[in-house]
Chains A and B, each alone.
Chain A
Amino acid sequence: MEIDDRPALARPALSGRNGGHVLDVRGLAVTFAGDRGLVAAVHEVSFAVAPGETLALVGESGSGKSVTSLAILRLTPPPPRARLAGSVMFRGRDGRVRDLLALDDEAMRQVRGNEISMIFQEPMTSLNPVHRVGDQIAEAVMYHRRVDRRAALKRAEELVERVGIPEPRRRLASYPHHLSGGMRQRIMIAMALACDPAVLIADEPTTALDVTVQAQILELLRELQRDSGMAIVFITHNLGVVAEIADRVMVMYAGRIVERGAAVPVLTRPLMPYTRGLLRSVPGMDWRRFGREPLEAIPGSVPDPTRLPPGCSFHPRCGFAEPGLCDAALPLLEAATVGAAEGPPDHFVRCHRWRSVAAAGA
């Protein structure tokens, strides 16, 4: 097979922005078998991403956001240690739609790192310290594209240049420890883009970086997406980063989606008290409000997944909770419409009391 020699990553979008979804996750559940019995880490998670779109998966530790992303790529431990349920429908390069959870291991390897790529928080642990970065990028190209080493290294050089690293040819000969954290994350991105993926899953890719470098990486991802039309699933706990990069947002708490919708309404008129509390507890940069009053905090801490509270998992920390309702029944993820809405509902919330939250304002 010939290597794609069109300008790096200039592949047109798989289809128009609204031309269907490239990834459609339905009823995904992940259960781990541990010392203390079965632990459901992710319950009934459903969402879809279109080409060219960025979906942010927001949550704190233990929310299930990273497990969700690992499950999509089948990177969770094999059964019986972890069991996956539901389906992950993926539209491949050939236009066929397949359930990734039903693929055999060999077919999954052809998708992973090729049609769907992933980048992680700490690039140092994802790169092999004893191999030159050029060889590590070329390896992915050779594996998926079946080209020789020379062609693969040429492709690696293009990619390294594309992610904004000066003197790409010289950099290919570097070892990971020669590079700064931002540079390593660029190398990881280059590696992830080696085969023009349709979907990029980015798990806290800027959390370990300084703000100035974070801004560069976010800009790079936006630019690459504009050129290639890839979909990005961006996992983060940083709501500022969400506002910078996301078209749509999905908030997770204790293994469940608690709010989902377009970025602007979710971040400016949140309907789930948890999302609202998170947004209010992030200190702003407005010096006129510095030190005037204590920060607004969400009381308590994230629950232990083996001992989830009954009813809504958030109710013990929630100012809107109503005894007899929120501690009794798990709310469904329902379509929320505030005021006049056009088109199909796009804002979903898992809260018995969302109407009161809407009335209280952000």
Chain B
Amino acid sequence: MHAPPAAAPAAAAPLLDVRGLRKWYELGSGFLGRRVQTVRAVEDVSFSLAAGEVLGLVGESGSGKSTLGRTVMRLTEPTGGEILFEGRDIARLGRRGLRPLRPRLQMIFQDPFASLNPRMTVGQIVAAPLVVQRRAASREACRETVAAALMTVGLSPDHADRYPHEFSGGQRQRIGIARAFVMEPRLLVADEPVSALDVSVQAQIVNLLMDIRRRLGLAILFISHDLAVVGHVCDRVAVMYLGRIVEIADTETLFRAPRHPYTEALFAAVPVADPRVRRRRVLLKGDLPSPLAPPSGCAFRSRCGYALPACAEAVPPLRPVGGGHLTACIRDDLALAGAPAAARRRPAETAGPGAGPADERRSLGLPVAAPQ
């Protein structure tokens, strides 16, 4: 299905419009009749991102969310589909064709220890994009731009002469962010930007990203496995499973009333830091199936508690269910539970049995009835 999602908030042309994107990897050589196996890491993915919008991409490891981010950034060649950035398809552009676009497309990475060259000073790291793009008029101008970028991310201009190993994880992530923002990008792909950081530092970096986003009005593709962080920073969220987007909606709608059983299962699995909350446990059986041999039809059916025989027949298309909400589940008769919203309230304060919405009933450990 190649229809662009109806969820684009503005009628104007989106900043990024991804249509039917595919990224396949082939395993094995095919030499002497050995079978070549294909991993469909990203399969028929379509979504759009408006200028200034933050789209979350969630899913388990192996869901293809990082591959999707890297393909959109054109760090890897797509197998098929279109990537319209500012109205122009960049899916087929070569190195030279991409270079003038690079300043407007930046990325920050998960591991602040691996993504900074230990032999370069912080100043050289942050200035590297300016040098590569020949943007700095003079050494002096370059130094000033770097100093301003360091201040923006909460570091001091004096840090420019020091080396990455002299900094903590959180400070290194700030350096990576300064490097991404020195070019004033329009689209930022942030791949697990806070996952490697200490809990007490994660919130600082999330707040910093949001502050810079507001000031520069840039769009972010925010890739994370942490649903709570995604909920706090994203305008919309897409859920991926085995290479495909299975649900996409604005953040509140997705968390309040998910329409795909996989999204429900993800919410149910997130531990909540309140021991008074007793939720009914919906344990997903098994692991992610091998991407080499995904189940026929809906790839989630092998772990889904609501699967019907029809689920095995055809890959369910991502279909609109109203208000820009799309789901790839064929069932409309499910009352799925949202995120545990009552997490920080005492059980005594929540609604009594039979009264509350599904999430509150769940917080009390009561069964949630699904109308048949």
Taking beta carbons and an 8 Å cutoff, which residues of A are in contact with B?
A: 60-61, 180-183, 210-216, 218-219, 237-244, 246, 263-264, 267-268, 277-279, 281-288, 290-291, 294-299, 301-302, 317
B60: A residues at CB distance < 8 A: 210-213
Query: Within the complex, what minimum Cβ distance (angstroms) separates A286 from chain B?
Result: 5
Which of A264, A285, A302, A317 sits near B339, CB closer than 8 Å? A285
* Stretch binding the partner chain, chosen from B128-136, B175-183, B196-204: B196-204
Query: Within the complex, what minimum Cβ distance (angstroms) separates A245 from chain B?
Result: 8
Q: Is the CB of B256 within 8 A of A287?
A: yes
Interface flag for B270 (CB, 8 Å): yes
A317 to B204, CA, bound (A): 13
Which of A180, A278, A279, A295 sits near B288, CB closer than 8 Å? A180
Interface flag for B2 (CB, 8 Å): no
A-B interface, 8 closest residue pairs, ranked by CB to CB distance from nearest: A240-B271, A297-B203, A287-B255, A295-B203, A239-B273, A298-B200, A210-B60, A60-B198
- Knowing that A239-B199, A297-B201 are A-B contacts, what are 12 other residue pairs whose CB atoms are under 8 Å apart, sorted by A's residue number? A180-B288, A212-B60, A213-B287, A215-B271, A218-B271, A219-B281, A219-B283, A243-B274, A283-B228, A287-B256, A291-B233, A317-B200
Interface flag for B143 (CB, 8 Å): no
B198: A residues at CB distance < 8 A: 60-61, 237, 301-302
A176 to B113, CA, bound (A): 27
Residue of B nearest to A266 (CB): B275
A294 to B169, CA, bound (A): 21
Query: Within the complex, what minimum Cβ distance (angstroms) separates B231 from chain A?
Result: 5
Within 8 A of A (CB), among B164-217: 168-171, 198-204, 206-207, 210-211
Within 8 A of A (CB), among B333-353: 338-344
* Stretch binding the partner chain, chosen from B8-16, B44-52, B261-269: B261-269
Interface flag for B101 (CB, 8 Å): no
Interface flag for B251 (CB, 8 Å): yes
Interface flag for B366 (CB, 8 Å): no
Most buried by A among B203, B233, B272, B341: B203
B266: A residues at CB distance < 8 A: 211-212
Query: Within the complex, what minimum Cβ distance (angstroms) separates B63 from chain A?
Result: 9
A302: B residues at CB distance < 8 A: 168, 198, 200-201
A183 to B290, CA, bound (A): 13
Q: Is the CB of B275 within 8 A of A264?
A: yes
Residue of A nearest to B206 (CB): A295
Q: Is the CB of A290 within 8 A of B203?
A: no
A61: B residues at CB distance < 8 A: 169, 198
Query: Within the complex, what minimum Cβ distance (angstroms) separates A294 from chain B?
Result: 4
Q: Is the CB of B200 within 8 A of A277?
A: yes
Q: Is the CB of B281 within 8 A of A215?
A: yes
Q: Is the CB of B275 within 8 A of A243?
A: yes
Q: How many A-B contacts if CB must be within 8 Å?
A: 159
Q: Is the CB of B288 within 8 A of A243?
A: no
Q: Is the CB of A284 within 8 A of B200?
A: no
Q: Is the CB of A211 within 8 A of B200?
A: no
Within 8 A of A (CB), among B254-309: 255-256, 265-277, 281, 283-284, 287-288
Q: Is the CB of B283 within 8 A of A216?
A: yes
A283: B residues at CB distance < 8 A: 203, 206, 228-229, 231-232
Question: Can you list 8 A-B pairs, Cβ within 8 angstroms, ordered by A?
Answer: A211-B270, A211-B271, A214-B271, A240-B270, A243-B274, A290-B232, A290-B252, A302-B198
Interface flag for B39 (CB, 8 Å): no
Which of A180, A286, A294, A299 sits near B344, CB closer than 8 Å? A286
Q: Is the CB of B284 within 8 A of A243?
A: no
Which of B169, B200, B271, B276 sits near A264, CB closer than 8 Å? B276
B256: A residues at CB distance < 8 A: 287
Also in contact, A268 and B200, with CB within 8 A (given A182-B287, A219-B281, A241-B271)? no
B210: A residues at CB distance < 8 A: 294
Interface flag for B225 (CB, 8 Å): yes
Q: Is the CB of B169 within 8 A of A295?
A: no
Interface flag for B6 (CB, 8 Å): no
Also in contact, A244 and B271, with CB within 8 A (given A287-B338, A290-B255, A302-B168)? yes
Residue of B nearest to A206 (CB): B271
Interface flag for B61 (CB, 8 Å): yes
Most buried by A among B170, B232, B288: B232
Q: Is the CB of B203 within 8 A of A298?
A: yes
Q: Is the CB of A183 within 8 A of B287?
A: yes
Q: Is the CB of B284 within 8 A of A215?
A: yes
Also in contact, A287 and B231, with CB within 8 A (given A263-B275, A297-B207, A301-B170)? yes
Residue of A nearest to B201 (CB): A301
Interface flag for B7 (CB, 8 Å): no
A183 to B289, CA, bound (A): 12
Most buried by B among A237, A244, A246: A244
A233 to B60, CA, bound (A): 27
Residue of B nearest to A62 (CB): B198
Q: Is the CB of B273 within 8 A of A281?
A: no
Q: Is the CB of A290 within 8 A of B267?
A: no
Query: Within the complex, what minimum Cβ distance (angstroms) separates B293 from chain A?
Result: 14
Interface flag for B368 (CB, 8 Å): no
Q: Is the CB of B272 within 8 A of A240?
A: yes
Q: Is the CB of B228 within 8 A of A284?
A: yes
A213 to B285, CA, bound (A): 9
Residue of A nearest to B346 (CB): A268
Q: Is the CB of B339 within 8 A of A287?
A: yes
Which of B202, B207, B267 sits near A285, CB closer than 8 Å? B267
Q: Is the CB of B61 within 8 A of A285?
A: no
Also in contact, A297 and B200, with CB within 8 A (given A61-B169, A282-B228)? yes
A244: B residues at CB distance < 8 A: 271
Most buried by B among A210, A216, A218: A210
A246 to B273, CA, bound (A): 11
